[in-house]
Amino acid sequence: MCEEYFRDMLSDKLEYEKYKFYSAEEFLQDDFFIQSMIHPSDDSVLFWNEAIAQDIIDKEEYAVAHLFICSSQEKRERITQEEMFDLWEDIELRNKDFLKKKEQRLNIYYSISAVIAVLLACGFLFFQPIFFPLDLRSAIEHIDVVDSTSSDIKLILADNKTLSLVGQEADILYNEKGIEINNQETDIKNTQLTSRGAIAYNQLVVPVGKRSMLTLTDGSKIWVNSGTRVVYPVFFDKKKREVFVDGEIFLDVYPMKRKPFIVKTKDHQLEVLGTSFNLTAYERDTVQNIVLVSGSLKVKSQNKKEIVLSPNEMYTYSNGIRQVKTINVEEYISWRNGIYQYQSEQLGIILTRLSRYYGKEINYTDDVSHLRFSGKLDLKDDLSVILKGIATTAPIAYESRSGKYMISKK
């Protein structure tokens, strides 16, 4: 019955526009909506996901209706066909009653609550109080962190499908059709949302020694450096664009005046409308910095006053201390082109960056870490060549053992 029902509805090319101005009450009086919530199919899930993604329907009204019918999950034991039949007939009868009485919203809520009681009585559903999309930070906490020791770049989709991308670099592009990887189309469609219509998140994990380029659905481009994790929604919310970063990225934001782009890290929130900047915010590092290349950028940290950056300024955060200074931005963004520039930088920081970039373990003694250096490194060179070059201009020595490097002071 259910499969035939959906085939009939979808074969008639049901117009999305029909639901454009629907209230919660009207959703709850619609046979197709109720049936697709109770007995979802691939077609019905795709239908509602598209309506949400394209902002065709009022998501708040949809959410209210969805909450009463689908704020739950299936039990391990599936409902029998006979129980489904009885359940659907009960809902249809109550739905006809809605059309006759057209009572106020409160009465509708009471009626739908009764429907839910029927669902519970059938052993079909158990109640969950929250349907509404998760906050980004909350969503991140529910996403498994991929093993950082993996040698491959990993793209984890909202349906938990994981793609391992072989090679030093990966170019990932979201377009109208789906996802392209290294200029090759895939069979992955960007309509892969959760089966219940909530906001779903993908994540890109770039291990040490690798890099990636990520183009999001809005056209914003993210250069992702080694040892970095980026979490982002399959589709952006209609009021804001929001991603989470643990690591280092260079971001070129596509300008949308009414839809700010927000980058969240463990300690900060960055808000932009259209700009380009470099963010270094590895959760395990004590020093984080933000370098603004163009546009303007608002930086918020926990319990601190908002700071607005101008081009060629760098915001630094270390041990709870914030600082803003004017810098040469090229020194901080040249890694995109395989160049590492540094000016009076601590050797410990330099070696940590080289370790991430090359994916090699570099150990050093405490008396080495605070030495300061200025220079320019070509990251296309072998790591041994780079370390040898540093050693010729500094009072240090290095040795290699089983692929690991040890740096000590002469």
Q: Is the pLDDT of residue 14 over 60?
A: no
Same structural domain, 169 and 67: no
CA distances from 272 to 217, 235, 284, 300, 351 (A): 17, 18, 25, 12, 32
Same structural domain, 18 and 152: no
The domain boundary residue, chosen from 304, 329, 354:
329
What number of other Cβ atoms are within 10 A of residue 403's Cβ? 8
Across 78-82, 135-139, 298-302, 318-322, least confident range = 78-82
Check: CB of residue 225 under 8 Å from CB of residue 76.
no
What integer pLDDT is reported at residue 305 of this predicted model?
A: 80
Strand-pair category, 169-174 with 211-215: parallel
Flag whether 90 is in a domain. yes
Q: Side-chain half-sphere of 58: how many Cα atoms within 13 Å?
A: 13
Same structural domain, 356 and 231: no
Q: Which residue matches tokens 């739908």? A: 112
Same structural domain, 125 and 62: no
Across 81-90, 247-256, 261-270, 400-409, least confident range = 81-90
Domain range for residue 352?
338-409
19-50 residues labelled b (16+ CB within 10 A) or e (exposed): beebbbbebbbbebbbbbbbbbbeebbbbbbe
Same structural domain, 51 and 88: no
The domain tally of the chain equals 4
Flag whether 302 is in a domain. yes
Check: CB of residue 381 under 8 Å from CB of residue 354.
no
CA distances from 351 to 205, 368, 399 (A): 22, 10, 14
End-to-end distance of the chain based on CA atoms, in angstroms? Answer: 81
In sequence order, what are the beta bridge partners of 298?
Answer: 271, 308
The tokens describing 334, both together, are 């040249």
Same structural domain, 256 and 355: no
The one-letter amino acid at 56: I
Does residue 169 sit in helix, strand or coil?
strand
Order of strands, sheet of 396-401, starting from the edge strand that comes earlier in the sequence:
362-364, 404-409, 396-401
List of residues 6+ apart from 73 with CB closer than 8 A? 125, 126, 128
CA–CA gap between residue 273 and residue 268 (Å, rounded): 17
Flag whether 393 is in a domain. yes
Flag whether 76 is in a domain. no
The domain boundary residue, chosen from 329, 355, 376:
329
Burial of residue 62 (number of CB atoms within 10 Å: 0-12, 13-18, 19+): buried
pTM (whole model) above 0.85: no
Of 358, 370, 378, 377, which Cα lies nearest the Cα of 395?
Answer: 370
Of 262, 166, 153, which Cα lies nearest the Cα of 203?
Answer: 153
Q: Which residue matches tokens 């910095």? A: 289
Same structural domain, 65 and 133: no
Q: Is the pLDDT of residue 190 over 90?
A: no
Flag whether 77 is in a domain. no
In sequence order, what are the beta bridge partners of 286?
Answer: none
Strand-pair category, 321-326 with 313-318: antiparallel
Average pLDDT of 219-228? Answer: 94
Q: Is the pLDDT of residue 170 over 80?
A: yes
Same structural domain, 391 and 300: no
CA–CA gap between residue 75 and residue 90 (Å, rounded): 20
Helices (H), 132-172: 136-141
Tens digits of residue pLDDT in 302-331: 777 889 999 999 999 988 889 999 999 998
Higher pLDDT, 352 or 125: 352
The domain boundary residue, chosen from 309, 329, 349:
329
Same structural domain, 273 and 157: yes
Q: Which CATH number do you get for residue 300? A: 2.60.120.1440
Q: Which CATH number do you get for residue 347? A: 3.55.50.30
Same structural domain, 258 and 192: yes
Same structural domain, 157 and 306: yes
Same structural domain, 33 and 169: no
Tens digits of residue pLDDT in 353-399: 999 999 899 999 888 888 898 888 998 899 999 998 888 888 888 88
